[in-house]
Structure 1
Amino acid sequence: MQGLSQTRDLVGYGGTPPAWKLPGGAKLAVSLVINFEEGAEFAVSDGDPQAEKISEVVSVVPPGRWDQGNEQIFAYGMRAGIWRMLAALEKHRRAVTFYMCGRAVERLPQVARRIVEAGHEAACHGWLWRPHADYTDRDSELNDVRRCVEVMETATGQRPTGFFCRGSESPQTRSILRELGFGYASNGFDDDLPYWDMSDPQHPLMVVPYALDSNDMKFFHPNGFVRADEMVDYVRDAIDMLLEEGEAGHPKLLNIGWHLRIAGRPGRFAAFKRVLALLDSYGHRLWVARRDAIAASWRSQFPA
């Protein structure tokens, strides 16, 4: 397909990853990400052609009709979930990255600002919670990413340096990120370490990979988590495996993803609290950091 930003790379580091040195002698980097997208999902009341379908249950509302229930399920994240999460992060003294959709920030700029004032990173998550693969022309996508950046900068006082979109990028997404001066992209599910996209050698773009396995979205999927401890146990197993590799001389990156409307619910918030306590229990063996700090660490040791 013409226009793709890069060809498929099935080799990566070929079994010989760089020896990444983490702050304080840590043996594993951990990225906690919270998605700030409620209010940016597809909703008929916002003029979108149909409502978002992924939710607590499969919607019985026909496409194109107003889905009050699903809108309220999303609203719960902003009305209740965000405050539980911010309080827990403050208690554990953790600074994390929030993936923020522009329309959500436009609706709740005061909440976005409070997040940044609490020490968290605001990364761009697109204007809407939609796959960027849906864009059919570059100008529309560029305008939406630029719009998201401007709204975020106005609300928080900071320009986002990181980007992640739902699902897949379009063939032109990374050229847009380069044009707008982003420091890193996160639409990479193919490694445990950052790497450089050199498809434009004059403008290399760092990819800080993300992951969907250790992610509370699995509570919304039938092959995923049901009880809070199932996610906690999964995260513990991932930490132990990657620590083994880190202690052998090759520290890696573990991503743990959360959503306000999912883990913000009382029964699943237990997973959020227990994962924070689990991270604390490993002490200085883990470096829990914002994604911009992870990108800076990689850039300083392995420049393009």
Structure 2
Amino acid sequence: MTRDLLGYGGQWPDVTWPNGTKLAVSIVINFEEGAEEQVGDGDPRSERLGEVLSVVEPGRRDFGQEQIFAYGMRAGVWRVAECLERAALLATIFFCGRAVERAPELARRLVDAGHEAACHGWRWRPHADYPSPEAERIDLDRATAAIEAATGVRPLGFFCRGSESPWTRQILAERGYVYTSNGLDDDLPYCDAHTALLVVPYAFDSNDMKFFHPNGFVRADEMVDYVVDALDVLEAEAQRGHARLLNIGFHLRIVGRPARFKAFQAIIRELKRRESRLWVARRIDIARAFQAATDRGDIP
């Protein structure tokens, strides 16, 4: 795959989102607890990244890390779901297949509330690790089936941890997926050069995972201020006629904790405050709106 460092080359597509605004905002909730590596689940090692780096030796069960992840399902999901419901805002849920298989009633509840079911792989792992297309197809099909069985909806969007493999996008296209979000390189969707897939870019900067990274967010206000700064910049560009997309990513075990939940609440309030000037939408709706603009000829 040849790297494209130019993209739109400063000639942005003239896209107006369905509500008449130029700035779209995607809220993403990662639903992956129970799909991470854990020795207790038969894996050779347990996930190291959590509230602290695991100090348990590989091959030994890390009960603490298991519990840190379990918090997202046992407590965090309820706070997040209730806040979105009160605000009447819809998100895209990045569902790991194995997490859905272990908590199908939670997955169904979120989708029944109107949120989008997207695929986050079978496990919380990089798809770049798959040794062959055949192995990747097996797990993608397994994840797709688990999500559809639990929610009644077949996912049309995809995002995996880390990186796709050289074959991921072709497999997704074969399976009828509409978009991938493993693109960290733009502020607008774009067409993949080798498949029929649309790339709806994602972002790691406006993402609560930075609470788990050194030199990232520590206090809730730090994430709120960061997202507000992003909204200010993109809204100013939108006022000059440039279509834009802002991604805000959350994890149930991270922002679901009480002190960090204040960041989620404040960001949701800020989106509601600006609601007339932007479009908060599910990623599948963003993809379809962008494709419709393409079909109309708005995008060369």
TM over 0.5: yes
Q: Residue 9 of structure 2 aligns with which residue?
A: 14
Q: Secondary structure at the match of 1:66?
A: coil
> Which whole-Å deviations, capped at 9, do the CAs of 1:251-300 have from their partners, x for residues lacking one?
20000000000000000000000000011111210100000000000000
Q: Residue 157 of structure 1 aligns with which residue?
A: 152
After the TM superposition, which of the residue ranges 184-193 and 20-29 deviates more from structure 2?
A: 20-29
Pairing of 1:185-264 with structure 2 (within 5 A) = 185-200=180-195, 204-264=196-256
Q: Residue 44 of structure 2 aligns with which residue?
A: 49
Q: Residue 115 of structure 1 aligns with which residue?
A: 110
CA–CA distance in 1 between the matches of 2:41 and 2:205? 31
CA–CA distance in 2 between the matches of 1:219 and 1:174? 30
CA contact (8 A) 2:15 2:22 kept: no
CA contact (8 A) 1:243 1:251 kept: no
Q: TM-score, normalised by structure 1?
A: 0.96
2:30 pairs with one of 35, 41, 61:
35
Question: What's the offset of the Cα at 1:60?
Answer: 1.1
Q: Residue 281 of structure 2 aligns with which residue?
A: 289
2:100 pairs with one of 96, 102, 105:
105
Q: Secondary structure at the match of 1:244?
A: helix
CA–CA distance in 2 between the matches of 1:87 and 1:283? 19
CA–CA distance in 2 between the matches of 1:47 and 1:88? 35
CA–CA distance in 1 between the matches of 2:194 and 2:118? 23
CA–CA distance in 1 between the matches of 2:254 and 2:94? 15
Q: Secondary structure at the match of 1:145?
A: helix
Q: TM-score, normalised by structure 2?
A: 0.97
CA–CA distance in 2 between the matches of 1:36 and 1:28? 26
1:70 pairs with one of 65, 75, 97:
65
Question: What's the offset of the Cα at 1:98?
Answer: 0.4
1:124 pairs with one of 119, 123, 131:
119
Kindly, what percent of the aligned residue pairs are identical? Answer: 62
Given the alignment of the two structures, is residue 298 of structure 1 paired with residue 290 of structure 2, yes or no? yes
Q: Residue 3 of structure 1 aligns with which residue?
A: none
Q: Secondary structure at the match of 2:255?
A: coil
Q: Residue 268 of structure 1 aligns with which residue?
A: 260
Q: Secondary structure at the match of 1:253?
A: strand
Q: Secondary structure at the match of 2:5?
A: coil
CA–CA distance in 1 between the matches of 2:54 and 2:163? 24
Q: Residue 84 of structure 2 aligns with which residue?
A: 89
Counterpart code for 1:266 = P
Question: What's the offset of the Cα at 1:49?
Answer: 1.0
CA–CA distance in 2 between the matches of 1:302 and 1:27? 15
CA–CA distance in 1 between the matches of 2:107 and 2:54? 29
Equivalenced residues, count = 296
Question: What's the offset of the Cα at 1:82?
Answer: 0.0
**4+ long deviations beyond 4 Å:** none
Counterpart code for 1:47 = G
CA–CA distance in 1 between the matches of 2:135 and 2:19? 44
CA contact (8 A) 1:102 1:152 kept: yes
CA contact (8 A) 2:12 2:243 kept: no
